[in-house]
């Protein structure tokens, strides 16, 4: 068996470590070692985006990154986006606008949307559809995902006129 | 309590899914769990000479390697459950691991079980299989040829069955003023739910109980089949469908890997998990459609259709999958006349084995194929007689329901002409025609496409199931348990996996009992908890399981009313029940709440003489007939003559799906189905090389629809309750895949009319469209 290396990451605000083979994918580290199974795997060619997480503030496909590459990084998975009691505006948007059916693609799609909304708080329909190019949803036909994103953007804009800002949504619990 | 049926209620199932707390099969982790992988054949047709497993077994962490010889006397072949009668069917069942011969690329030949996923994959590389290649046939028409390779010695010409329904007297065609004939190809596509298949098996060596969590749309059918295959009593096998990332028909079929994992768990006495990779999914999970349909239509010069005759050559793949025979025969053949009043109809299907992945149901299953051929034929006929395709539709649409089509199907409710009129108005058909005329003058290729589809759903009466060779019933079971606190749990034998019945069923019960939605939980997908059920497919959950739910709820109200009358000391007739309150007529101050009666029923301190305690209701509802959702879909496309790109500019749909419980969920179903139907028309195709290698075996090669491919769909509904179930529902999941392919193709062909293009096979990729434009114009 290949030699193992230590990896330490901050996931959803908590420090976590593991000994991993160099070939271990980040998505497997999250799912199998840390039991964060909200991040899904939908393909093996980096197309579907079901595995998307925030890594140091950027939306990335965790199936395309080795766990050891993430050493020292700060990661937010869907579990860290918001809780049932305190949903993130993106989660709220998806719930209210029926942006999910089976919900399998949803965690990754929401993280990709998080990436978009960090850069563009008022995206047009075309910009939203373009930003969803890295994800595949087989259930919804995307229309209500688009509506969900528009609604989430609206909620975030409302929120931004209040003290808490969007830069701080990457790691819940870290909101300053 | 205000009524919640008909309201766009947010889904109850969402909070766990949007916070990452769903539990899908791959999320299950049990102590001591091992991981299985499958060694799959690289050849489409080959003899297996030897399998060398010693190296793999030496790899540290590998617990076992199984070959076909190891398991052939432990797991029986997995039988197809739909043995269509009267067609000389020769079923070829899948065996768990190939023994002497592989019949398609991707067929499993060995299974590794190891301590971890990575080791299990490593071990696959160490298994060496010696093959002797055999000639390959992948195309169903080629497979029928004289010199074609034969896959099974006892299946001459690779013909699995020859089926026929209906009869058109030859004179009808001979005497007809107009006859048009067209070969239409329903290309092979793949359902591709975003969650691949998977299974986790856990065995208790003390009790002999085996539990398999797996991705299934019909856990009870899986239990019947796997218990039989593994030779254990049905009562010792528990199948659980946890959260599921879509199915679309691909998870109806009963496959082999789940049984293998069960066997491994029993033998190794440790839990075992297997999860398909996406590329593995492309090879190992059923494909769909792949039918070559040649249809002849006889009509009059003024647009009346007299007869339709369809010949379907269906590619079954290498084995007869679970519903493999039923899809291109019954599901297809009964609907070949579409929504039109056509006096004569005939459908013939030849089922053919080839060296490809087996085909089975995919969203619509047979109905999209039937709808595609009739809707294309109407346009081809219209073109031939020089009539507007809308006018031809108006001339032939079913005028009045109930209507019995030439194959004996009873269209249940609704106004077919009114629905078309509504769609024409919504898209401003008259204005659109003018716009098109103008555009053509300017060299722009604008096309209008239409379909007035109908589909057969809500499967279905069990008597019919028996008559058509379906190996089971098609009734459904729902039960409702009212707990002492007045909270309620719904149990159903249907097994939804994204369609939202956890919410819509709660809406039904909330209205029946006058209680808040928060008080209602929903359970499905577990054979230990649910007494029996046939699953979720064929748009049957709301019409059939929902029917059972409605009846079960009524039974509870009936009993609760008796208890209320008893407590209030009045005759039963004097008690009224509305909005959760039992009251006495004309004495509204005398009342009991639903919650109070729930407690009374459960404590049983003071029940009427002879009444049993508790408050539960159950119904096994067997519908008297199928339901027939229908609608009118119209789209506008523009083709770029320089690139061949098809831009979908507008898509309008008006669907009559019976009574709608949650319009937001209903619309979501329409969108999802449309994306798949439009995907089939424009982008998706499963392609094999002549050697039987799947060339479109990843998401890089198989064009899954993306968000930027679509405009906003303009969807609306008409609600004509179906008379065949208590909710009046008709089912909605398959409207999009049934309607969209012909709508889009009709539009693109219309756009290309200036070039004299009469037909093009799906998918209408830019390359194909560009060639159609340029090869013709160059040739002029
Ligand atoms: S699993 Fe990462 S892109 Fe599909
Ligand atoms: S909601 Fe099912 S794949 Fe997107």
The distance of A158 to chain B (nearest Cα, Å) reads 21
Alpha-carbon span B714 to B218, nearest angstrom: 33
Alpha-carbon span B512 to B528, nearest angstrom: 27
Q: What is the pLDDT of residue A174?
A: 40
Give the pair of three-digit tokens for residue A50.
Answer: 């079901």
Q: Which of B194, B667, B708 sits opposite A138 (nearest CB)?
A: B194
pLDDT in tens, A99-120: 999 999 999 999 999 999 999 9
Ligand 2 mean position to B778 CA, how many Å?
44
Alpha-carbon span B592 to B576, nearest angstrom: 10
Q: What is the pLDDT of residue B559?
A: 97
The distance of B60 to chain A (nearest Cα, Å) reads 8
Q: Which of A1, A135, A140 sits opposite B671 (nearest CB)?
A: A140
CATH match of B14-134+194-246+251-284 with 3.90.1170.50: yes
For residue A137, the chain B residues in CB contact (below 8 A) are 194, 707
User: Which atom of ligand 1 is nearest to A40's Cα?
Assistant: 1
Domain B287-460+625-774 fold: Aldehyde Oxidoreductase; domain 4 (3.30.365)
Q: What is the pLDDT of residue B163?
A: 98
**Helix H or strand E encompassing B451:** strand B445-454
Mark yes or no for CB contact B713/A137 under 8 Å.
no
Nearest to B482 by CA among B425, B409, B557: B557
Measuring CA to CA, how many Å separate B442 from each of B297, B438, B758? Answer: 35, 7, 22
Mark yes or no for CB contact B20/A101 under 8 Å.
no
Q: Crossing angle, helix B501-513 and helix B546-568, to 10 degrees?
A: 30
- Evaluate if residue A175 carries a pLDDT over 90: no
Mark yes or no for CB contact A40/B674 under 8 Å.
no
For residue A36, the chain B residues in CB contact (below 8 A) are 20
**pTM of the entire predicted model:** 0.96
Which architecture, in CATH terms, is A5-80?
Answer: Roll (3.10)
The distance of B756 to chain A (nearest Cα, Å) reads 33
- Using DSSP's 3-state secondary structure scheme, residue B170 falls into helix
Measuring CA to CA, how many Å separate B705 from each of A112, B188, B664, B701, B720? Answer: 17, 16, 22, 12, 32
Residue A118, sorted as left (phi over 0), alpha (psi -120 to 50) or beta, turns out to be alpha
The residue extents of the domains of chain B are: 14-134+194-246+251-284, 287-460+625-774, 476-621
pLDDT-flagged residues of chain B (< 70):
1, 776-780
CB within 8 A of A86, min separation 6: which ones?
Answer: none
Q: What is the pLDDT of residue A173?
A: 40
Pairing of strands B101-102, B46-52: antiparallel
Alpha-carbon span B550 to B558, nearest angstrom: 12
CATH match of A89-161 with 1.10.150.120: yes
Mark yes or no for CB contact A84/B15 under 8 Å.
yes
User: Which atom of ligand 1 is nearest to A61's Cα?
Assistant: 2
For residue B191, the chain A residues in CB contact (below 8 A) are 138
**Tokens 């209008």 identify what position?**
B448
For residue A18, the chain B residues in CB contact (below 8 A) are none
Pairing of strands B62-67, B108-114: antiparallel
Mutation test residue for ligand 2: of A51, A97, A101, A132, the one with most atoms within 8 Å of CB? A101
CB A27 within 8 A of CB B26: no
Q: How much is the CA Rg of chain A, to the nearest whole Å?
A: 16
Q: Give the chain A residue nearest B27 (alpha carbons).
A: A37
Q: Which of B15, B194, B665 sits opposite A105 (nearest CB)?
A: B194
- Using DSSP's 3-state secondary structure scheme, residue B200 falls into strand
For residue A39, the chain B residues in CB contact (below 8 A) are 20
Measuring CA to CA, how many Å separate B675 from each of A85, A137, B342, B633? Answer: 33, 10, 30, 14
CA B393-B630-B302 angle, to 5 degrees, is 10
Q: How many Cβ pairs within 8 Å bridge chains A and B? A: 195
User: Which atom of ligand 1 is nearest to A49's Cα?
Assistant: 3
pLDDT band at A164 (very low <50, low <70, confident <90, very high): low
Q: Which residues pair with A61 in a beta bridge?
A: A52
Give the pair of three-digit tokens for residue B38.
Answer: 């499958």
Q: Would the CATH topology of B14-134+194-246+251-284 be identical to that of B287-460+625-774?
A: no
Ligand 2 mean position to B754 CA, how many Å?
40
- A 10 A CB-CB count for B308 gives 27
Ligand 1 mean position to B43 CA, how many Å?
27
| String of DSSP letters for B220-275 | HHHHHHHHHHHT--GGGEEEE--B-S--TTTTTS--SHHHHHHHHHHHHTS-EEEE
Q: Is B677 on the interface with A (CB under 8 A)?
A: no
Ligand 2 mean position to B304 CA, how many Å?
43
Buried/exposed B646-678: b ≥16 CB within 10 Å, e otherwise: bebebbbbbbbbbbbbbbbbbbbbbbbbbbbbb
Q: Give the chain B residue nearest A99 (alpha carbons).
A: B668
Alpha-carbon span B321 to B83, nearest angstrom: 10
Identify the burial level of B228 via C-beta atoms within 10 angstroms of its C-beta, where 0-12 means exposed, 13-18 middle and 19 or more buried. Answer: middle
For residue A138, the chain B residues in CB contact (below 8 A) are 191-194, 246, 248, 672, 675-676, 704
Q: What is the pLDDT of residue A160?
A: 87
What interface predicted TM-score (ipTM) does this complex get? 0.96
- A 10 A CB-CB count for B698 gives 17
| String of DSSP letters for A2-60 | ---EEEEEEETTEEEEEEE-TT-BHHHIIIIIS--TTS----SSS-S-TTEEEETTEEE
Q: What is the pLDDT of residue B125?
A: 98
* The three-state (H, E, C) secondary structure of A107-167, written as one string: HHHHHHHHHHHHHCCCCCHHHHHHHHHHCCCCCCCCHHHHHHHHHHHHHHHHHHCCCCCHH
Atom 3 in ligand 2: residue holding the nearest Cα: A137
Atom 4 in ligand 2: residue holding the nearest Cα: A137
CB B429 within 8 A of CB B390: yes
Q: Is B699 on the interface with A (CB under 8 A)?
A: yes
Q: Which of A96, A101, A144 sits opposite B499 (nearest CB)?
A: A101
Q: What is the pLDDT of residue B687?
A: 98
- Evaluate if residue A1 carries a pLDDT over 70: no
**Tokens 């405009």 identify what position?**
B711
Q: Which of A31, A48, A77 sits opposite B194 (nearest CB)?
A: A48
Ligand 2 mean position to B450 CA, how many Å?
28
Alpha-carbon span A38 to A8, nearest angstrom: 20
Mark yes or no for CB contact A139/B706 under 8 Å.
no
User: Which atom of ligand 2 is nearest to A109's Cα?
Assistant: 4
Ligand 1 mean position to A44 CA, how many Å?
6
- B703 Cα distance to chain centroid: 20
Q: What is the pLDDT of residue B586?
A: 83
The residue extents of the domains of chain A are: 5-80, 89-161
Nearest to B184 by CA among B741, B768, B630: B741
**Tokens 């079913």 identify what position?**
B398
Q: What is the pLDDT of residue A171?
A: 45
Please give all residues whose beta carbon lies within 6 A of any atom in ligand 2, as ranges. A 100-106, 137-140; B 194, 245-246, 498
Measuring CA to CA, how many Å separate B197 from each of B173, B251, B536, B704? Answer: 48, 8, 16, 18
The distance of B771 to chain A (nearest Cα, Å) reads 28
Give the pair of three-digit tokens for residue B435.
Answer: 């716009």
Alpha-carbon span B332 to B370, nearest angstrom: 5
Alpha-carbon span B1 to B694, nearest angstrom: 56
Q: Which residues pair with A66 in a beta bridge?
A: A25
Average pLDDT of span A154-163: 88
Q: Which CB contacts under 8 angstroms, 24+ apart, belong to B145-149?
A: B149/B45, B149/B355
Mark yes or no for CB contact B500/A21 under 8 Å.
no
- A 10 A CB-CB count for B530 gives 20
Ligand closest to Cα of B13 equals 2
Q: What is the pLDDT of residue B618?
A: 96
Q: Is B194 on the interface with A (CB under 8 A)?
A: yes
CB B268 within 8 A of CB B356: no
Phi/psi of residue B418, nearest 5 degrees: -65, -40
For residue B23, the chain A residues in CB contact (below 8 A) are 37
| CATH number of the domain located at residue range(s) B476-621 in this protein | 3.30.365.10
């Amino acid at each position: 068996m290949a030699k193992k290396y230590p990896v330490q990451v901050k996931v959803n605000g908590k420090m976590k470590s593991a000994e991993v083979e160099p070939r271990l994918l980040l998505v497997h580290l999250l799912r199998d070692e840390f039991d964060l199974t909200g991040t899904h795997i939908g393909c093996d060619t980096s197309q579907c985006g079901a595995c998307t997480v925030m890594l140091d503030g950027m939306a990335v496909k965790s199936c395309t990154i080795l766990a050891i590459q993430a050493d020292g990084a700060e990661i937010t998975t869907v579990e860290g986006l918001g809780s049932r009691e305190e949903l993130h505006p993106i989660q709220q948007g998806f719930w209210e606008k029926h942006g999910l059916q089976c919900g399998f693609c949803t965690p990754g799609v929401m993280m990709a949307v998080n990436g978009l909304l960090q850069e563009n708080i008022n995206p047009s329909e075309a910009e939203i559809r373009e930003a969803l190019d890295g994800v595949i949803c087989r259930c919804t036909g995307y229309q209500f995902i688009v509506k969900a994103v528009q609604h989430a953007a609206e909620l975030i804009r409302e929120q931004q006129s209040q003290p808490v800002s969007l830069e701080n949504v990457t790691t819940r619990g870290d909101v300053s | 309590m205000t009524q919640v049926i008909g309201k766009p209620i947010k889904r109850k199932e969402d909070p766990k899914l949007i916070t990452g707390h769903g539990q899908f099969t791959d999320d299950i982790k049990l102590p001591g769990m091992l991981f299985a992988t499958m060694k799959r054949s690289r050849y489409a047709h080959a003899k297996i000479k030897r399998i060398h497993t010693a190296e793999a077994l030496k790899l540290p962490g590998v617990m076992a390697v199984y070959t076909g010889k190891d398991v052939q006397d432990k797991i029986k072949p997995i039988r197809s459950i739909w043995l269509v009668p009267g067609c000389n069917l020769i079923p070829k069942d899948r065996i768990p691991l190939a023994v002497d011969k592989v019949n398609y690329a991707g067929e499993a030949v060995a299974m590794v079980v190891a301590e971890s996923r990575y080791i299990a994959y490593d071990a696959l590389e160490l298994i060496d299989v010696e093959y002797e290649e055999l000639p390959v046939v992948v195309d169903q028409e080629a497979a029928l040829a004289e010199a074609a390779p034969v896959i099974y010695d006892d299946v001459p010409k690779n013909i699995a069955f020859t089926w026929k329904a209906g009869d058109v007297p030859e004179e009808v065609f001979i005497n007809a003023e107009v006859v048009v004939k067209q070969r239409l190809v329903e290309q092979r596509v793949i359902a591709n739910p975003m969650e691949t298949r998977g299974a986790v098996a856990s065995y208790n060596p003390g009790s002999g109980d085996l539990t398999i969590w797996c991705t299934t749309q019909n856990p009870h059918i899986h239990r019947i089949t796997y218990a039989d295959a593994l030779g254990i009593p049905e009562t010792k096998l528990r199948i659980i469908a946890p959260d599921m990332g879509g199915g679309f028909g691909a998870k109806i079929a009963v496959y082999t890997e789940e049984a293998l994992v069960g066997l491994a768990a029993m033998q190794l006495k440790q839990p075992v998990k297997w999860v398909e990779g996406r590329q593995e999914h492309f090879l190992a999970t059923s494909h769909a459609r792949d039918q070559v349909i040649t249809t002849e239509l006889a009509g009059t010069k003024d647009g009346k259709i007299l007869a339709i005759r369809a010949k379907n050559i269906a590619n079954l793949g290498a084995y007869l999958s679970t519903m493999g025979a039923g899809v291109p025969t019954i599901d297809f053949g009964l609907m070949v006349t579409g929504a039109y009043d056509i006096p004569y109809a005939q459908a013939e299907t030849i089922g053919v084995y080839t060296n490809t992945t087996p085909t089975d149901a995919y969203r619509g299953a047979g109905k999209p194929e039937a709808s595609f051929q009739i809707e294309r034929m109407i346009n081809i006929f219209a073109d031939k007689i020089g009539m507007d395709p809308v006018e031809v539709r108006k001339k032939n649409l079913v005028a009045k329901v109930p209507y019995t089509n030439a194959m004996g199907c009873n269209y249940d409710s609704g106004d077919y002409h009114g629905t078309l009129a509504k769609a024409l108005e919504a898209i401003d058909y008259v204005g659109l025609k003018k716009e098109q005329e103008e555009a053509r003058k300017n060299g722009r290729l604008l096309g209008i496409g239409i379909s007035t589809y109908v589909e057969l759903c809500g499967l279905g009466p069990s008597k019919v199931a028996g008559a058509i060779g379906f190996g089971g019933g098609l009734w459904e079971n729902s039960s409702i348990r009212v707990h002492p606190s007045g909270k309620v749990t719904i149990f159903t034998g249907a097994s939804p996996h994204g369609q939202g019945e956890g919410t819509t069923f709660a809406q039904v019960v909330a209205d029946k009992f006058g209680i808040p939605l928060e008080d209602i939980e929903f359970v499905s997908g577990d054979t230990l908890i649910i007494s029996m059920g046939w699953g979720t497919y064929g748009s049957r959950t709301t019409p059939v399981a929902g029917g059972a739910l409605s009846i079960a709820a009524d039974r509870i109200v009936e009993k609760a009313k008796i208890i209320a009358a008893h407590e209030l000391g009045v005759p039963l007739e004097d008690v009224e029940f509305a909005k959760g309150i039992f009251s006495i007529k004309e004495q509204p101050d005398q009342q009991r709440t639903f919650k109070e009666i729930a407690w009374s029923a459960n404590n049983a301190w003071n029940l009427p003489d002879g009444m049993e305690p508790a408050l539960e209701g159950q119904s096994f509802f067997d519908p008297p007939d199928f339901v027939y959702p229908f609608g009118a879909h119209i789209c506008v496309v523009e083709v770029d003559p320089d690139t061949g790109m098809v831009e979908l500019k507008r898509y309008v749909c008006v669907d009559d799906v019976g009574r709608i419980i949650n319009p937001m969920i209903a619309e979501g179903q329409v969108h999802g189905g449309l994306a798949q139907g439009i995907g089939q028309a424009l982008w998706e195709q499963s392609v094999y090389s002549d050697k039987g290698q799947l060339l479109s075996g990843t998401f890089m090669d198989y064009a899954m629809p993306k968000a930027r491919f679509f405009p906003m769909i303009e969807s609306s509904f008409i609600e004509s309750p179906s008379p065949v179930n208590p909710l009046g529902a008709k089912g909605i999941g398959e409207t999009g895949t049934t309607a969209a392919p012909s709508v889009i193709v009709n539009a693109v062909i219309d756009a290309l009319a200036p070039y004299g293009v009469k037909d093009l096979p799906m998918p209408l990729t830019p390359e194909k469209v560009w060639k159609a434009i340029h090869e013709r114009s160059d040739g002029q």
